Structure 1
Amino acid sequence: MARRMAVLGIAAALSASLVGCEADRGGPLPGGGASSEGGRTLTVVKDGGRQPNEDIAVARIHRLEGASIEQWLSDDEARLVITKVAKAATGTEEPKYEYFATTVDLQTDKQEELQPLAEPSSSGAITRTYPSPDGKFSFVQEWQDKYTASNSVLNLSTGESVEVPVANYLEKGGWLDNETYVLAAGSMNGRGEIYAVSTNGRSKVIRLDDPDAETFEQFEAGYGRIYYLDGKRNLKAFAPGDAKPVTLVKGAGPFRLSPAGNRIAVTAAYREGVPGTKLTMYDTAGSAQGFLIGKGDLVNDISWSPDGSLFAFSVYTEAKSGMNGVYAYDSATGKVSPIGPSYFPQYPLNWNPSGTRLGVTVGGENGLPVTQIIDFKS
């Protein structure tokens, strides 16, 4: 990939300004803040809540060398995987790494003692959990290998788990409402079935009549509707019981449905001869909300905060005058703001449970990850 840009650019259609500066650099900061070189943190102090034209304010940036986030344990604590070089690369051999587990308390920046880990590629079951919107249940998938998973529904208040006896090959689905999880099971021979799974573990097939949906490029559900990309790169939606979908956006790429189910952030699909891509906010009827929120050569990650108040995305543009780095869209004001240095994440953007912190993991020296956790000013 082309060289990384050292300066944050801002698209002409978006008037946004950086609230902070890179944590590694000392010196005065805007708004009367101060940086700490030893702790590699950034602090910005601004009075009052965000106004319609006010940037999203960064309160602090925590820099964690060699770290990636495995899981948030709470708003203030995260479980990390620490990667270290065990043997440096030579002219004929790739470097060798060793891995450790630890937790970090972001109120104190204290990390627990490192515990050795097996390599992430080691065999063994991988468990994925998907909590319901009201937090009462969780859909659980335990993957034994790439194509085999066992499914269950866990009652989070009682600890009772019920098996869901359907076979699936895909990790695609979402909660239709508090009582129903929709699973796009996939198949080795075609699209496979779509199941409505109740919290009691019972399932039934949801019918979909769409010859262009031989597989699902992306699949989400929420607030009584199911959204997916068909084979012709069209974003479509339908409700159980109505098997004929409606087309919301043509020429769509990756999309994300907001937690409130009222907005969809959609990237444009790649088109030969058309440089770059764009990120646009739509309502769930497919009508443009009236603003382009991002544009560049590549938009590589998009993610809503759990409460839906912020939407984060990363952009890379070769031109210095273009957008580069990680940005956040304020769903209340429509404001788009750069929220840190010219990051280009190598891992998915990672929100804490309340959406007050965002983990951004980039590549560092010797192929090691570096995680910057951004604290937002409330």
Structure 2
Amino acid sequence: MIKKNRMNHVQKNGVPCGDHPRAWLFRYRITGLLTMSAVALVLLSACGMNDAREGKPSSGTKPGQQLTVIDTDAARQQVTDELVVSSIDKLGDVYARSWLSDEELIVERQTRLLIHNVKTGKERALLPDRKAPQLLAVVSPDQRHVFFTEGSTSSKYDIRGYILELSSGKVTPIGKLDMSNEVSWGDKEHLITGAPDGKIYLIGLDGKAKELKFQDPNRTELITHVEKVGNAIFYTGNDKQGYRVLNRFTMDHPQAVTIANGAASFAVSPDGKWIAIEKRKWNTSEPARMIVLDEHGKEKGTVGQGTLMSRGSWSSDGSKLAFSIYDEDQQGMRGLYVFDQSTGKTTPVTTDIQSYDSPTVWSPSARFLSMYQNISEGEKQLNQSYIVQFKEK
């Protein structure tokens, strides 16, 4: 499973980006910075639901304004239930990685992992005694462990993974990581990852990897993204023509079945009841759509549309879906959005964030949302992180 890493730096949650020929695959689409512009709503029909109500804001929509994209009974709730942005703070020259709590966010600053307190602004080292360059950090669902990666002072291609037990400070190695390894938490006791040979592995807290056996007649040589929710395993695969699909199998029934066609990326809610996919029609100029499916793959509605999208990110209770989007159409959707299941509405958070190749990460209670993107200051390229705080209902 574990091979030599070919990367010059790591840009997102478990997905390294570098100068390897495959690196484009993990930038989600086209590289480069995109300028901010107006935000407008694109409404599409929802399968098995009432017709959506169209709303088109004027240029320069302010954070906290609402756009209805899925019409549900929940949308009739009071205004007090709607999602409202309280503040958006910026952290200069830093990668926001993962939340330890609603007050503490792990960030990477100049190849060191730090714990940033969002209330005081103070920072302390996550691993003060380790000297190797530190890159990624992903907190487990129960906030007891952190998966992190380190580089080598002798070779930028030598990337290794570790599990930190927060209570004791114990560090367990899991070995070298190939540049195509995207590692995430499958549950509180296991990491999960796809491999360049088309295999899927669970990695325990002891650092030992176990291959998951499954059958897929169209299995690819590279599985770029995999998620585990309960007993079910979801991953991006291919159909017979080589186009991307979302597949699922279970630990008890290892025959993979296709849940959705044209799935360029996906995210499953923690309870497994909802799936957000970026759906694309290949070899066309049609924009991609962010679609919410139920657990059986039935389309419930479209919550966004545009040229480029980040992978969706569900809050821990599955009530909210965050994603950023860029559209070539000046009147299209651009910026960071949050879809709220309780109201059936999508809120434009800010047009400042249009990064489609970096993760959006929720704090445990979903009061905060973090994301980063590259910005230009003269001839310099810097990492700008954002912390969005929502008003309590």
* TM-score higher than 0.5: yes
**How far apart, in 2, do the equivalents of 1:368 and 1:155 lie?**
31
Contact 2:277 2:292 in 1 (8 A): yes
**2:37 maps to which residue?**
6
Query: Deviation of residue 337 (structure 1)?
Result: 1.2
3-state SS of 1:60 partner:
strand
Query: Among 177, 183, 205, which residue is 2:211 paired with?
Result: 205
Query: 2:382 matched to 1:375?
Result: no
Residue identity matched to 1:328: V
Q: Deviations over 1:78-130 (max 9, x none)?
A: 46667xxxxxxxxxxxxxxx99998765435x5679xxxxxxxxx94546555
Q: Distance in 2 between matches of 1:230 and 1:323?
A: 28
1:69 aligns with 2:96: yes
Matched, 1:215 2:222: yes
User: Please, which runs of 5 or more residues in structure 2 have no aligned partner?
Assistant: 1-31, 45-51, 66-74, 125-130
Q: How many residues align?
A: 324
**Pick from 128, 137, 141: which aligns with 1:133?**
141
Query: Is the partner of 1:242 in helix, strand or coil?
Result: coil
Give 1:1-378 correspondences, 5 Å limit.
4-13=35-44, 15=54, 52=77, 54=79, 55-65=82-92, 68-69=95-96, 72=99, 74-78=101-105, 105-107=117-119, 110=121, 124=132, 126=134, 128-137=136-145, 142=150, 144=152, 155-160=165-170, 169=178, 170-184=180-194, 186-187=195-196, 190-191=197-198, 193-213=199-219, 214-231=221-238, 232=242, 233-288=244-299, 290-341=300-351, 343-345=353-355, 347-362=358-373, 363-366=375-378, 367-378=381-392
State the shift of 1:160 in Å. 4.8
8 A contact 2:267–2:314 mirrored in 1: yes
AA matched with 1:340: T
- 1:298 and 1:280 map into 2 onto residues whose CA distance is 14
Shift of 1:62: 2.1
Q: 1:279 deviation in Å?
A: 0.6
Bigger mean CA offset, 365-374 vs 147-156: 147-156
Query: Could you tell me how far apart the structure 2 residues matched to 1:267 and 1:173 are?
Result: 20
Q: Distance in 2 between the 1:167 and 1:100 partners?
A: 19
Partner of 2:48: none
In the aligned structure 1, how far is the partner of 2:207 from the partner of 2:116? 36
Q: Partners in 1 of 2:108 and 2:161 — Cα distance?
A: 27
Q: CA deviation at 1:136?
A: 4.5
Write the letter of the residue equivalent to 1:182.
I
How far 1:374 moved relative to its partner? 1.7
Q: Does the 8 Å CA contact 2:39/2:61 hold for their aligned counterparts?
A: no
Task: Give 1:133 shift.
Answer: 3.1
Q: Deviations over 1:141-183 (max 9, x none)?
A: 555567766556555445555565x775343344444444434
In 2, Cα distance between the equivalents of 1:167 and 1:63?
A: 33
Computed over aligned residues only, the root mean square deviation of the Cα atoms, in angstroms, reads 4.1
Q: Sort the Cα spacing of 1:58 and 1:215 in 2 relative to 1 into closer, same or farther, 3 A.
A: same
Residues 228, 234 of structure 2: 8 Å contact kept: yes
Q: What residue identity is the alignment partner of 1:262?
A: K
Q: Distance in 1 between matches of 2:166 and 2:37?
A: 46
Q: CA deviation at 1:316?
A: 1.4
AA aligned opposite 1:69: A
User: Cα distance 1:146–1:222, how it changes in 2: closer, same or farther (>3 A)?
Assistant: farther
TM-score with structure 1 setting the length = 0.69
The 3-state SS of whatever aligns with 1:319 is coil
In structure 2, how many angstroms separate the alpha carbons of the residues matched to 1:69 and 1:237? 30
Q: 1: CA distance between counterparts of 2:215 and 2:39?
A: 45
Work out the percentage of aligned pairs sharing the same amino acid. Answer: 26
SS in 1 for 2:350: coil
Residues 6 and 74 from structure 1, CA distance in 2 versus in 1: closer, same or farther, beyond 3 angstroms? same
Name which of structure 1's ranges 259-268 and 344-353 shifts more when overlaid on structure 2.
344-353
Structure 2: distance between partners of 1:210 and 1:238: 9
Q: Post-superposition shift, 1:63?
A: 3.8
Shift of 1:293: 0.6
Which structure is richer in relative contact order (CA contacts within 8 A, separation 6 or more)?
Answer: 2
Spell out, residue by residue over 1:36-78, the C-alpha distance to the aligned partner (whole angstroms, 9 max, x if none).
xxxxxxxxxxxxxx96374420112224455543565642344
Q: Deviations over 1:182-202 (max 9, x none)?
A: 343x24xx32x4333444555
Is contact 1:173–1:221 with CA below 8 Å preserved after alignment? no
**C-alpha separation between the residues in 1 aligned to 2:386 and 2:186?**
33
> Corresponding residue for 1:45?
none
Is the Cα contact below 8 Å between 1:276 and 1:295 reproduced in 2? yes
Is contact 2:292-2:302 (8 Å) kept?
yes
Equivalents in 2 of 1:66, 1:198: separation in Å? 33
Instruction: Report the alpha carbon displacement of residue 338 of structure 1 after superposing the two structures with TM.
Output: 0.8
CA contact (8 A) 2:134 2:150 kept: yes
Contact 2:38-2:61 within 8 A present in 1 as well: no
Residue number in structure 2 paired with 1:34: none
- Hey, what's the Cα distance between the residues in 2 that align with 1:235 and 1:252? 6
Q: Say which one has the larger Rg.
A: 1
Tell me, in whole angstroms, the C-alpha distance in 2 between the residues paired with 1:303 and 1:247. 21
Which secondary structure does the structure 2 equivalent of 1:265 belong to? strand
**How far did residue 328 of structure 1 move?**
0.3
